[in-house]
Chain A
């Protein structure tokens, strides 16, 4: 084990090279619905139990199933209303289980990136061949069902190994959503290839807000607006990223959907907001800002290296 993941160098938020977004936008804004499938009776991973209760954990399973049966369709309607295309964090087995959902997302020109095979299959304890197999599976499944080549990765149930980032970059994935240390994209140090961290957010994630922090729906509206307001202010100096990760089983509940709609209307109602997908933001950053950032990080490192 390591004390530092070794994926990026310290690079303070202030005094960075300016980031510009298309059209001079202050905030690159993206919404990432997690479209997931949780298995009723998954195989056991020794590092993590899938369900708190003995199988069948009816409450937890059915709660998640609600997202696909009912919640997704409400969430999609609100995003349509606000002109937001989703960047789908996809358990790729949904392509087989629920192709109707995939079709509707395709019609709307949403992006698909990988969130593993199932949200009940964890990467802990995987050997390299197994980890390669799930990456290859994700590429093949998404391409077969959507025609898209995946550009992004959010580890299934946020489970990783020490080799995950190197493998993703080797296979040509462009961005990871698993690093929460910044409000701007960052180069990620991998063995080969150009690979970046794209700000996803645990703080704005509906599951974290509702199920971990246990906040009320109207409070979520306030949190989203406050997060946006501050980033919008700072974005006047240098471009930032705001992401809202969603789960239809949480945000798509009737008592929560309008609270989310209010925040989404507020954010997309501002000038200077680039409403984009993860892939679009990642490509723009990689093309226009990656090299500058790598140089600036090197310069910072040299300047502040301990004097010998």
Chain B
């Protein structure tokens, strides 16, 4: 077997990126940003409220954290549902105690199944980010565009209707997109997406409806990534949040405001043995001067006002 000669052709080998969604840009060489009140770091905490269906499809892949055993995988179904029944209240209590705001990424199925949770978010004045329909309904390369458009509409439409919020942020389930996802969510008046983990700051991303923004939602400072995927323990989670913060806080003194994003899954951090670790992790951040707790929409508004 040999490779065709096309394998050595490089049609996109030129300055910048190999696609047109965003231009190549170096974080450290951009115009510094200032945050309200002269804060150095905007703290953006994003708990995710997710519904993992028992019949989660295996194709094109299963969202991490999903079903593992042959059907019916009651074990993983209920362990994830624990987050919405129990864990979420521990997480919200920690945030309340520390005076931290949240942007909560919500599957629209969660809003339909647990309207109580939408009320819990709304009464705190927190933001809702559209997080797709559920963790079994992925957006992925090669999916039918009409089907995806319906999925986008179901998610965003349902969340707007049930929350009364404008809902301007989007986080794809498993951060998985098709080549059309950005265009479809922008057409539905989404202003920022959370899937692109290539930066520590917002940047404009092109769509057929004009530029929207990519926001640096964290895949690294994420309880699921650290404690489930990497299997690090709770103390290591606290350490990594601390290390992340210290570096960003230090850079902010010279390079302008930074964003410290923390991704939380109540089915992970909301466990009794982990909740104190989450509290310690966030307390060591918020206790610093110059930390601005804000929602994604607020951070983006402050950023855009300076561009």
In the complex, are the beta carbons of A255 and B61 less than 8 A apart?
no
In the complex, are the beta carbons of A70 and B27 less than 8 A apart?
yes
**How far is B53's CA from A275's CA once the two chains are assembled, in angstroms?**
55
Give chain A residues whose Cβ lies under 8 Å from the Cβ of B5.
130
In the complex, are the beta carbons of B243 and A259 less than 8 A apart?
yes
**How far is B142's CA from A57's CA once the two chains are assembled, in angstroms?**
12
For residue A303, CB closer than 8 A to chain B, the reply is no
In the complex, are the beta carbons of B229 and A134 less than 8 A apart?
no
For residue A73, CB closer than 8 A to chain B, the reply is yes
What is the distance, in angstroms, from A42's C-beta to the closest C-beta of chain B? 9
Give chain A residues whose Cβ lies under 8 Å from the Cβ of B239.
216-218
Q: List 14 A-B contacts (CB under 8 A).
A: A46-B1, A53-B141, A54-B142, A69-B25, A69-B27, A70-B26, A73-B26, A117-B13, A125-B1, A125-B3, A130-B5, A133-B8, A218-B239, A258-B247
What is the distance, in angstroms, from A83's C-beta to the closest C-beta of chain B? 21
Closest to A134 in B: B8
Most buried by A among B219, B229, B243: B243
Q: A55-B179, A59-B175, A121-B8 are in contact. List 6 more A-B contacts (CB 8 A).
A: A41-B19, A54-B142, A58-B176, A117-B10, A254-B251, A255-B240
**Interface bin, chain B:** 35 or more
In the complex, are the beta carbons of A256 and B243 less than 8 A apart?
yes
In the complex, are the beta carbons of B198 and A63 less than 8 A apart?
yes
**How far is B217's CA from A202's CA once the two chains are assembled, in angstroms?**
30
Q: A53-B61, A97-B24 are in contact. Are A255 and B195 (CB under 8 A)?
A: no
What is the distance, in angstroms, from B218's C-beta to the closest C-beta of chain A? 10
Digit string of B1-22 for contact with A (CB within 8 Å is 1, else 0)? 1110111101011111111000
For residue A268, CB closer than 8 A to chain B, the reply is no
Give chain B residues whose Cβ lies under 8 Å from the Cβ of A134.
8
For residue A227, CB closer than 8 A to chain B, the reply is no
For residue A191, CB closer than 8 A to chain B, the reply is no
Give chain B residues whose Cβ lies under 8 Å from the Cβ of A254.
200, 243-244, 247-248, 251
Give chain A residues whose Cβ lies under 8 Å from the Cβ of B232.
214, 216
For residue A233, CB closer than 8 A to chain B, the reply is no
* Of the residues B6, B177, B178, B240, contact of A217 by C-beta under 8 Å: B240
Which A residues from 76 to 128 make CB contacts under 8 A with B? Answer: 93, 96-100, 117-118, 121, 125-127
For residue A24, CB closer than 8 A to chain B, the reply is no
For residue B236, CB closer than 8 A to chain A, the reply is yes
Q: A58-B175, A259-B243 are in contact. Are A130 and B197 (CB under 8 A)?
A: no
Give chain A residues whose Cβ lies under 8 Å from the Cβ of B19.
40-41
In the complex, are the beta carbons of A130 and B230 less than 8 A apart?
no
What is the distance, in angstroms, from A74's C-beta to the closest C-beta of chain B? 8
Give chain B residues whose Cβ lies under 8 Å from the Cβ of A37.
18
Q: How many A-B residue pairs have CB under 8 A?
A: 144
What is the distance, in angstroms, from A260's C-beta to the closest C-beta of chain B? 11
What is the distance, in angstroms, from A302's C-beta to the closest C-beta of chain B? 41
Q: A59-B176, A218-B236 are in contact. Are A96 and B15 (CB under 8 A)?
A: yes
In the complex, are the beta carbons of A130 and B8 less than 8 A apart?
yes
**How far is B29's CA from A125's CA once the two chains are assembled, in angstroms?**
41
B interface secondary structure, majority: loop
* Of the residues A58, A63, A100, A214, contact of B177 by C-beta under 8 Å: A58
Most buried by A among B29, B197, B221, B251: B197
The 5 closest A-B pairs by CB, nearest first: A54-B141, A255-B244, A65-B198, A254-B247, A62-B198
* Of the residues B3, B10, B24, contact of A130 by C-beta under 8 Å: B3
Q: A52-B61, A58-B195, A130-B8 are in contact. Are A73 and B28 (CB under 8 A)?
A: yes
* Of the residues B172, B178, B243, contact of A258 by C-beta under 8 Å: B243
In the complex, are the beta carbons of A130 and B7 less than 8 A apart?
yes
In the complex, are the beta carbons of B7 and A45 less than 8 A apart?
yes
**How far is B229's CA from A296's CA once the two chains are assembled, in angstroms?**
47
Closest to B172 in A: A58
What is the distance, in angstroms, from B296's C-beta to the closest C-beta of chain A? 17
For residue A280, CB closer than 8 A to chain B, the reply is no
Digit string of A15-52 for contact with B (CB within 8 Å is 1, else 0)? 00000000000000000000001011101011000001
What is the distance, in angstroms, from A215's C-beta to the closest C-beta of chain B? 8
For residue B153, CB closer than 8 A to chain A, the reply is no
Which A residues from 113 to 156 make CB contacts under 8 A with B? Answer: 117-118, 121, 125-127, 130, 133-134
Closest to B233 in A: A216
Give chain A residues whose Cβ lies under 8 Å from the Cβ of B178.
54, 56
In the complex, are the beta carbons of A125 and B2 less than 8 A apart?
yes
Q: A40-B19, A125-B3 are in contact. Are A97 and B13 (CB under 8 A)?
A: yes
Closest to B236 in A: A216
* Of the residues B13, B15, B229, B251, contact of A99 by C-beta under 8 Å: B15
In the complex, are the beta carbons of B18 and A40 less than 8 A apart?
yes
For residue A11, CB closer than 8 A to chain B, the reply is no
Give chain B residues whose Cβ lies under 8 Å from the Cβ of A68.
24
Q: A56-B141, A100-B26 are in contact. Are A255 and B3 (CB under 8 A)?
A: no
**How far is B28's CA from A20's CA once the two chains are assembled, in angstroms?**
41
For residue A208, CB closer than 8 A to chain B, the reply is no
Digit string of B141-175 for contact with A (CB within 8 Å is 1, else 0)? 11000000000000000000000000000001011
Give chain A residues whose Cβ lies under 8 Å from the Cβ of B6.
43
In the complex, are the beta carbons of A69 and B26 less than 8 A apart?
yes
For residue A8, CB closer than 8 A to chain B, the reply is no
For residue B196, CB closer than 8 A to chain A, the reply is yes
What is the distance, in angstroms, from B180's C-beta to the closest C-beta of chain A? 10
